[in-house]
Structure 1
């Protein structure tokens, strides 16, 4: 089951291991499935954001939020595999490139 789609925000993956949404989200969904008591509360924004952070940490990923602006009309939540970027500056350059933002729209 895809529990990430129940969360009230848009999730974008930056992941070299996964080549599709299903590949990248498999471990996160497995973590949530191992904890069935949290599933009914995934529609709550703060709770689901914290669960996503915990699951991502357990799977060797991290969560970064990009607020909405004139380029992207909605807040985006990026789940990024650790060790893809050397530092946060490279990460934000990649996220804010116009061609990458257009692919997310």
Structure 2
């Protein structure tokens, strides 16, 4: 007997697949930021710790994506597994916001110095 995909599998696929892709996008973007940009407000240990956690999370998400695809979208992921990824993305966003604030302050300072000449 042939099993037809359930409507729940379609719903799961429509939600989970893009969510996993989003995690990968934000982890890759954050990893690039940490590996290439100067972030004076972030100590070396903090930076290294965050980078290591991102690398591990990327591997976990990749594994989840492979399993999801291998089963044809028939399996989900426990929220308890995804919550640390969500928390890590939020932490990465905070670093990016802080970097933008620092750049804006530096730019404002530069403009003030140029106007004062």
Same fold at TM > 0.5: no
More strand by share: 1
More helix by share: 2
TM-score by length of 2: 0.28
Structure with the bigger RCO (C-alpha within 8 Å, sep 6+) is 2
